[in-house]
Structure 1
Amino acid sequence: MASLKKNFIYQTGYQVLATALPLITTPYINRVLGAEQLGTYTYAANIANYFTIFAMLGFNNYGSKMIAATKHNENELAHTFSSIRKLQRLMATVVVAIYLLFVSLCIPENKPLYFIESLWIINCFIDINWFFWGLEKVKLTVTRNLIIKLITLSGIFIFVKTRKDILIYAFILVIGTILSDLYLVSQVKKYIKGTRTTFYEMIIHIKPCITLFIPVVAMSIYQQMDKTMLGLLSTYEQVGYYSSADKIVNIPLGIITGLGTVSLPRIVSLISEKKIMEYKKVVEKSISLVMFMCSAIAFGILAVSQEFVPLFFGSEFLPCVSLISFLAFVIFFKAISTVIVNQILIPNDNERYYIISVFVGAFINLILNYSLIRKFDAVGAVYATLISELIVCFVQIFVCFKYLNVLKMLGKNFQYIILGVLMYASVRGVAEHITNISLFKRNVIEILVGGAFFSGACLVYWTVKRDDTFYPIVITVLNKIKWKES
């Protein structure tokens, strides 16, 4: 359990820093590129991402799971890694060839941008993050990612100066990831020795990979198809508005969903060792943590969006305010779904339920996007995303009743939603009385008021109720403070 806590601290610390970096680059990029160019890039990146999903064939979840299951046997670990790696290289090679043919024959404009985006697919040939997640070597991946992100940030400010620099921007983003993954490849020899695997040892991974690949494909439909369909049914400008609003929601969401990525290997170990009670406690604490963080972030975003958008994106992106107001609630559904998938369904070998829920959401999202985007543009895409994510979440809660009553766990943490609503009311109340100062000062005051109110209210609740998840942390921190003072 200690290593799980340490890994989550590393991951959370990294996600906080990773969150801060886009908060620096996004205002700059949105102003330099503008809504239309930003939408052009987002649309091209989405197309390339569909091919990337096929190239990875579910290796991230499956590879992490298999490495976690074999890490205590050096020989078995080496064979597992080598066979999965060969299959990954084969898939990446095939998909890169198909993508280049697709761009050459089917893309009438912006071809240089699409060819640069092919580097994301080529990177699938070397991406072995799943190996280190399976070994729970979170510190290694976090340190490496942070360094590369800092280099990428510097490159954006140095080389991206005008709206014509969209190709440079696209290249900087992808080359950072490639360098990051190349570093991980150089570290593999520290953990396993070279080994030969047969063709049969490679192909036996195809079926389980496809099992996890199918929901990933369906997942991309309702997580990314909205931007693709906006580009087809509306304008690149609307794509720019939607992608900017979506970014504001997904930046902090990475902090929350990082819990699922970090905990998967440990959950698999607990289940294999029949430590069911310990397993249930981990899930319960994960739900509590997710509800606490989601309430703070979602209602916080909702509370400051009116003043934050014009300050952060510029006046050109004012339509994002209404989009963010609805998308903020997607944070709850995505975070809860991440816990269910990574801590209940996948570890218990019930990926089929995951697949069912995702296909239900993908189908609904596709239908809603087609009908709503035509009428409401980006707002229609937001409605479609919100409804489909809600349905997926409820389907997953229902199918995992066999293992754990997630609905009951969520009910026990409903107080965080109440505190979030009260925080929202307090921030908006303050906002009405500070309209005569600059946008920057208003944002700072609103964030400080919201943060102070929510954290203070939670501390009171944890202390009064002796909360199992957070109260021990509070006591530990207070004891350390007292010890230092003495």
Structure 2
Amino acid sequence: MDAHQIKKPSIKVNFALNFLRIFSAAIVGLLTMPYITRVLGAENLGKVEYVYTIINYFVLFSALGIPMYGIREVSKKRDNEKELFKLVFELYLILFITTILSYLLIFVLINVSFLSNYRELIIIMSSMVFLSNIGAEWYFQGIENQKFITIRYITVRFLVFILIFLFVNKTEDYQKYAFLVVMLSFGANLINFIFLIYKLLKQKINVKEINILQHLKPIFTVFIATVSINIYLQLDNFLIGILSGDKYVGYYSMANKLIRYAISFITVIGAVMLPRLSFLFLNDKIQYKEYLKKSLHLMMILSVPCTIYFFVFSQNIISFMGGVDFNSSIITMQILSPLCIIVSLAYFFGFLILYPQGLEKVYTKATLVSAIFSLIINFYIIKNFQHNGAAVVAVLSELIAIVFMFVYLKNNGLVYGLFDNNLLKILAANFIVFSVFYIFLFTKINFFNNLIVSSILFPIAYALLLFFLKEKHTKDIFDKIIFNKIKK
């Protein structure tokens, strides 16, 4: 049995590793975005984002619900090496079948007439399906040992960062950029795959013991929820492309991507907590509730100021990241800014409360309702209001899901006293910092209109407010820093 399967790694270490992995993707995106937007322009960038959206549906289809299901099941079996790798083999077998089916459908897709202009892009970006499924990130997250994938992801992303500036130099290079986008997200999965194949071959798994049917029902339950979520996450880009054109996809993607980068940092807390919460729910209910409350507070500490930041400084952010060609993205960013809070709560209710308790069906129903709403409204609103209409629907769809889940949790006594005085302190700090910066911004003082200066002052002011209001987690961090200095 491997040592990493016996010892439960530190949540702080796993958070740091998860954070580094997401940070490496976000920093490459943020550093290259001002360059890419100016080189490719809104239309060509929109083409890449449009095809990315299409292929991402095939990624979702082929993955079924395995990315989330795998984390939970691996975390349960991590202390039994034989059962663990039998599970990995079974899930890989399912992924192999769905990957083949996906490529058959993609072959049909590239022969559809209205997508003929995107044929080369579709072929290039279809590699996402294969690379996504072989990565098995769910295995590494389930055993709570993410050092392996973190090092590889950071290395690959650093190489891609350099390659973008070397090979994407003119408007026509959007296909090269598309390939590098795939490598940025999934290139490191090749290394993960080699590692896992080596581990599987060492196990000498008895094929007669393989039973993939046992996984199908729970996988499909999670799959329906995942697809429902991604209908309103990806449908907007798809419909904007069909109804309004590639240029508007570019405008929407600029604002949406930046906000999704922030959300990925916030939900990393949940991704780190999920394996531990799944384990604690079965073994220690008191600790489970404590970790749950801590998760909510930390997610709100990050998500509320992110919403404020994107809303208040949208003009400065878009001007810096995209230039004047993307001014149409400013209002879009303001509309989408509440997603930082809304998506964090949806993740918290769905994956940190319902999922460890085996209540994923509730989450599935919530996302289905949201997806149906998104489908019905988007056709009308995008046709009339383009990217800004899609932004409104995206926010409302997510909001419907969290209201649905919260009502269920409240009615079934599953809120666990999560909303306490400490949460009120977090909200109070955010209200104050929003009021101050919003007032200063409208005074047109150049000092506050400088994005770099305001981006430094904003988190400092917020952290100090949390400290003076004696917010629990901020106070703990400050106390540890002071204690360590005194100790030295």
Q: TM bucket by the smaller chain?
A: over 0.9
Which of 144, 165, 180 is equivalent to 2:152? 144
Distance between the aligned counterparts of 1:17 and 1:456, measured in 2? 27
Aligned residues: 477
Q: Which residue of 1 aligns with 2:165?
A: 157
Aligned residue identity for 2:480:
T
1:326 positional shift: 1.5
Distance between the aligned counterparts of 1:177 and 1:20, measured in 2? 13
Q: Which residue of 1 aligns with 2:110?
A: 103
More divergent stretch after superposition (1-10 vs 332-341):
1-10
More divergent stretch after superposition (200-209 vs 292-301):
200-209
Distance between the aligned counterparts of 1:102 and 1:121, measured in 2? 14
1:125 positional shift: 4.3
Distance between the aligned counterparts of 1:39 and 1:242, measured in 2? 9
Distance between the aligned counterparts of 1:311 and 1:459, measured in 2? 31
Q: Deviations over 1:362-381 (max 9, x none)?
A: 11111221221122111110
Q: Does 1:48 align with 2:55?
A: yes
SS at structure 2 position matched to 1:204: helix
Q: Which residue of 2 aligns with 1:381?
A: 390
Q: Which residue of 2 aligns with 1:304?
A: 313
Contact 1:92/1:124, CA 8 A, preserved across alignment = no
Which of 62, 68, 71 is equivalent to 1:64? 71
Distance between the aligned counterparts of 2:103 and 2:118, measured in 1? 18
More divergent stretch after superposition (15-24 vs 235-244):
15-24
1:154 positional shift: 1.0
Distance between the aligned counterparts of 1:277 and 1:432, measured in 2? 48
1:17 positional shift: 3.9
Q: Gaps (5+ residues) in structure 2? A: 1-7
Contact 1:87/1:203, CA 8 A, preserved across alignment = no
1:278 positional shift: 0.3
Contact 2:132/2:189, CA 8 A, preserved across alignment = no
Distance between the aligned counterparts of 1:184 and 1:86, measured in 2? 16
Which of 244, 247, 251 is equivalent to 1:237? 247
1:106-117 to 2 correspondences below 5 Å:
106=113, 107-117=115-125
1:383-422 to 2 correspondences below 5 Å:
383-401=392-410, 402=412, 404-405=414-415, 408-409=418-419, 413-422=423-432
Which of 215, 221, 226 is equivalent to 1:216? 226
1:385 positional shift: 0.8
Contact 1:83/1:197, CA 8 A, preserved across alignment = no
More divergent stretch after superposition (101-110 vs 18-27):
101-110
Distance between the aligned counterparts of 1:38 and 1:196, measured in 2? 48
Aligned residue identity for 2:177:
Y
More divergent stretch after superposition (138-147 vs 357-366):
138-147
1:210 positional shift: 1.0
Distance between the aligned counterparts of 1:105 and 1:308, measured in 2? 38
How large is the RMSD of aligned CA atoms in angstroms? 2.1
1:21 positional shift: 2.0
Q: Deviations over 1:307-346 (max 9, x none)?
A: 2211221001011111111111011010111122221111
More divergent stretch after superposition (347-356 vs 98-107):
98-107
Aligned-residue identity in percent: 24
Superposition TM-score, scaled by structure 2 size: 0.93
SS at structure 2 position matched to 1:110: helix
Which of 321, 342, 351 is equivalent to 2:351? 342
More divergent stretch after superposition (181-190 vs 75-84):
181-190
1:384 positional shift: 0.5
Contact 2:44/2:171, CA 8 A, preserved across alignment = yes
- Structure 1 42/148 Cα, relative in aligned 2: closer, same or farther at 3 Å? same
Distance between the aligned counterparts of 2:176 and 2:423, measured in 1? 46
Q: Which residue of 2 aligns with 1:447?
A: 455
- Structure 1 2/8 Cα, relative in aligned 2: closer, same or farther at 3 Å? same
SS at structure 1 position matched to 2:15: helix
Q: Which residue of 2 aligns with 1:476?
A: 480
Which of 174, 184, 187 is equivalent to 2:192? 184
Q: Deviations over 1:375-412 (max 9, x none)?
A: 21111101111111111111112223335217852775
1:442 positional shift: 1.1
Q: Does 1:167 align with 2:171?
A: no
Contact 1:67/1:134, CA 8 A, preserved across alignment = yes
More divergent stretch after superposition (104-113 vs 249-258):
104-113
1:112-127 to 2 correspondences below 5 Å:
112-127=120-135
Distance between the aligned counterparts of 1:407 and 1:385, measured in 2? 29
Distance between the aligned counterparts of 1:77 and 1:436, measured in 2? 58
Q: Which residue of 2 aligns with 1:352?
A: 361
- Structure 1 279/354 Cα, relative in aligned 2: closer, same or farther at 3 Å? same
More divergent stretch after superposition (105-114 vs 40-49):
105-114
Contact 1:58/1:210, CA 8 A, preserved across alignment = yes
SS at structure 1 position matched to 2:116: coil
Contact 1:430/1:446, CA 8 A, preserved across alignment = no
Q: Which residue of 1 aligns with 2:213?
A: 203
Q: Gaps (5+ residues) in structure 1? A: none
Q: Which residue of 2 aligns with 1:289?
A: 298
Superposition TM-score, scaled by structure 1 size: 0.93
1:290 positional shift: 0.8
Aligned residue identity for 2:482:
L
Distance between the aligned counterparts of 2:398 and 2:85, measured in 1? 38
Distance between the aligned counterparts of 1:206 and 1:132, measured in 2? 21
Contact 1:100/1:118, CA 8 A, preserved across alignment = no
Q: Which residue of 2 aligns with 1:271?
A: 281
Q: Which residue of 2 aligns with 1:319?
A: 328
Aligned residue identity for 1:254:
S
